[in-house]
Structure 1
Amino acid sequence: MAVFDQTDKVWRFLISPDDSTRYRVDFEDPLVRDDLSQGQASIAIERFSFTANNILYVVLGHQNRYWDLFPAEGKWGNSPAWGVGRVVDSKSDLLEKDSRLFGLFPLASQCVIQPRILGPRHVVDTAQHRQALAPAYNRYTRIDELDHFHGIGGDWQLLLRPLALVGLLAAHHFKDRNYFNAKIIYVTSASSKTGIGVGLMIKNQSPEMKVIGITSPEKTNYVSALDVYDQVIDYDNLAELQDAPSILFDLTGNHSLVQKIHSKLSAALKHSASAGRSHWSAGGETEVVGNVAPERFFTPVIMQHYLAIWGGELFERRFGATIQTLQNALSGQVEIKHVRGSEGLTSLYMQLLDGSASAKEGHIIIT
């Protein structure tokens, strides 16, 4: 059993890339200025959100190269999380001490980056091991002068920014393709904050589309009360799927479930998008039904597409509006919970793995 009382130490939460149920916590002396190479900055990670989305980073760590973001020694991996950090020491002329950044940090209380300026509000980590990853994963936002990153608003930003992005992009991605001539979009894992964001933004963007959430039987009342979906169906009642031109937006990664939905909709299914792994332990492959095979919905690639079309300023404006819309929808339904240190993270990690974490809570790890 891990010993968590390690005063004046920094910690790293390490996970086995080959078995997500195996983990350990390492404690080390804090890095000091002499430990840094020229051009590097040491970051004290202050807090980060931790949701089912983080389990996706673990499960798809090899496929999407998430383990490459923050390499660990031996057969262990340091998975990423969206958080806020403060510069505590710097040998870079580009980042001054006490600057605060938002971006992807390791599950840890300290890390090192090698910054390069990317416009007035952003820096990018140029460390060699990160260069093969999607650009969105290497970018950090300066937040010292951004009021919405402070207080309870800051907690909502940490919680919702990674999740709201999927909703923003899905709504525009499907509208730009005329929803593949579908009239209905089904969203699995409908209780998840990502699923809620997708449903909400598609309804806002295209009110004529019918959005149906699919969730577990014990969560149907909660999901229905959100007033996001036109209808809610549970996984045990897929006979209620309608015989009309449809899109499936799957966040479960449960191939057996997806196969059942494909089979039920048959020729009515016009497009199938695979965007998550909330049912992370489900295995197998989804067979093609008719002419439709699941297509991967990879957020960083789609984000780069719309950044190129809209430009950074319009993208950020639309993204900010999406976050606020999602926060307004969830603020009376979801309670922000602060979880302390590596011990609290360990407990929450196991709850998210076994599915026992409450959908009505949004968790922020205070390191």
Structure 2
Amino acid sequence: MESNVLEVNRTDIGDTRLVTDQLGDLAEGAVRFQIERFSITANTTTYAEFGDMLDYWGFWPSGDDTFGRVPAMGWATVIESNHPGVEAGGRYYGWFPMAQYIDATVATTSTGLRDDGTNRAAHAPVYRTFERTDLDPTHPSNAGVAAEAIDDAENRHALLRGLFLTGYLADGFLDANDWYGADHAVVLSASSKTAIGFAACAARHDGLHLVGVTSPSNVDAVRGLGWYDSVITYDQVTDAVPDPQAQAVVVDMAGNGPVLEALHDALGDRITYSMVVGRTHHDAPPAAPSTGPTPEMFFAPTALVSMKEQGVDTDGFQAAMGPALAAFIDGSSEWLAVERTNGPDAAADTWADVLSGRVAPSVGRITSLHAD
């Protein structure tokens, strides 16, 4: 069997290529997924940006030092199995390569499968799981969504589920640390979907002023969300917190060095914590602020461990995550339109469009390497 795969240049992520894998007989304990569809968002391109630092290239090794395979969130069906506990026909949500088909060595879990391939052993469990539709409590069909709305809801899950959970965890981490004494949170790349998920959570906290920083073309859309208390453009970032007595945490989804440095220079020690979450501005130089705290990378899988060490009831926190996700997904119909395309060229075009910033924050792109 042949499988078309979209690969990305590891040092120039705007450069992609289509290759064809030849899939042979399944190994013992392996299953073959047909990857139905997946989302490409700014978060997906961030996986490529941080591919070496956080080993995202190791999720689905390409065997090539120049081009790698970026994990993307989506849906797939097991079409063949050589595992005694897995039947063909099951549908799963998880991180898949941008491909038509993929083989994986798996183990069964209470809610689906876990990738037990040798290349995955070092990765956090959340990145190795495939949630089976009929066992996943957060799947739309198990959350009361009408049958005719399931397809749209699954698209929205592929686009928003992982990003919202990152935002939910970032909010929980900062709250567990009492927002480091800050009364403002300045969010860079406020229109990114991870930032929107974060804002939906952070807006619930009384006394916290949420500042969204975005490009001029996105100001109205970001304001329209209703979660940011104020919205400014990147060239106004030095006035993000005009009150000289106020303190702020920085939540950087942009990765734009000059912007982050300007914010640090303006606020200095009034920044109590600087968190780096993403890199939507992939072509901007990295930051090296000389004032304020050193920016720290936020890695969602370790956040719960840190929160538990600080005395947070992480079981309760996780239990509340499902209803919060369901509400966010349901409400996304008010601000997010889904666009879906098919075919290898369409997938490559979608990657290019998202990477270049040509996709409006009010649009989510779902694609597939299958022709239909």
TM above 0.5, one fold?
yes
CA distance in 2, matches of 1:88, 1:145: 18
Q: Which moved more, 1:175-184 or 1:280-289?
A: 280-289
Q: Paired residue for 2:140, among 143, 148, 152?
A: 148
- Structure 1 residue corresponding to 2:4, chosen from 7, 11, 16: 11
Change (3 A) 1:328 1:207: farther
The corresponding residue for 2:147 is none
> Of residues 90, 93, 116 in structure 1, which corresponds to 2:84?
93
Between the aligned partners of 1:99 and 1:226, the Cα distance in structure 2 is: 36
CA drift of 1:220 comes to 0.8
**Is 2:37 aligned against 1:47?**
yes
Structure 2 residue aligned with 1:3: none
- 2:335 equivalent in structure 1: 333
Q: Which amino acid in structure 2 is aligned with residue 285 of structure 1?
A: A
Partner of 1:110: 101
Secondary structure, in 3 states, of the residue corresponding to 2:169?
helix
Q: Percent identity between the aligned chains?
A: 27
Q: 1:283 aligns with which of 267, 282, 285?
A: 285
SS in 1 for 2:28: coil
Name the SS for the 1:114 alignment partner.
strand
CA spacing shift, 1:306–1:241, aligned 2, 3 Å: closer
**Structure 2 Cα separation of the partners of residues 73 and 362 of structure 1:** 31
Structure 1 position 145, deviation (Å): 4.7
After TM superposition, the structure 1 = structure 2 runs for residues 217-236 of structure 1, keeping only pairs within 5 Å, are 217-236=216-235
Following the alignment from structure 1 to structure 2, what is the Cα–Cα distance between the partners of residues 78 and 343?
A: 16
1:23-38 to 2 correspondence within 5 Å? 23-28=16-21, 31=23, 35-38=25-28
Distance (whole Å) between structure 1 residues aligned to residue 330 and residue 290 of structure 2 = 39
Residue number in structure 2 paired with 1:267: 269
Residues of 2 paired with 1:123 and 1:305: CA distance?
26
Question: Which stretch shifts more, 303-312 or 98-107?
Answer: 303-312
Aligned to 2:167: 167
1:298 CA drift (Å): 0.9
- Work out the CA distance in 2 between the residues paired with 1:269 and 1:68: 35
User: What residue number does 1:76 align with?
Assistant: 67
Shift of 1:155: 1.4
Task: Compute the displacement of 1:233 (Å).
Answer: 0.9
Q: CA deviation at 1:161?
A: 0.8
For 2:307 and 2:74, the matched residues in 1 are separated by 23
**What is the rounded CA distance, in whole Å, between the counterparts of 1:315 and 1:45 in structure 2?**
31
SS of 1:301's equivalent in the other structure is helix
C-alpha deviation, 1:343, in angstroms? 1.4
Q: Encode CA deviations 1:47-100: one digit per residue, 9 max, x unaligned.
A: 111111110011111111111111113332111101111111111012111111
Give CA-to-partner distance per residue, 1:107-166, whole Å, 9 cap, x none: 101101111123x21321110011122222111111135551642221111111111112
**Aligned residue type for 1:43:** F
Q: State yes or no: 1:122 paired with 2:123.
A: no
Q: What's the CA shift for 1:176?
A: 1.0
Secondary structure at 1:85 match in 2:
strand
Per the normalisation by structure 1, the TM-score is 0.90
CA distance in 2, matches of 1:294, 1:347: 33
Alignment of 1:54-69 (within 5 A): 54-69=44-59
Amino acid at match of 1:234: T
Structure 2 unaligned residues grouped into runs of 5+: 142-149
Distance 1:129 1:53, change over 3 A: same
SS at match of 2:290: coil
Aligned residues: 353
How far apart are residue 327 of structure 1 and its match? 2.6
Q: CA deviation at 1:303?
A: 4.2
Aligned ranges 1:282-321 → 2 under 5 Å: 282-290=284-292, 292-303=293-304, 305=306, 314=316, 317-321=319-323
Q: 1:307·1:315 contact (CA, 8 Å) conserved in 2? A: no
2:185 is the counterpart of 1:185: yes
3-state SS of 2:14 partner: strand
Q: Which amino acid aligns with 1:341?
A: G
Q: Structure 1 stretches (4+) deviating beyond 4 angstroms?
A: 303-312
Shift of 1:223: 0.9
Q: Of 248, 251, 265, which residue of structure 1 is paired with 2:250?
A: 248
From 333, 358, 361, the equivalent of 2:360 is 358
CA distance in 1 between partners of 2:281 and 2:304 (Å): 25
Q: Deviations over 1:198-234 (max 9, x none)?
A: 1110112x12211110111121111111111000011
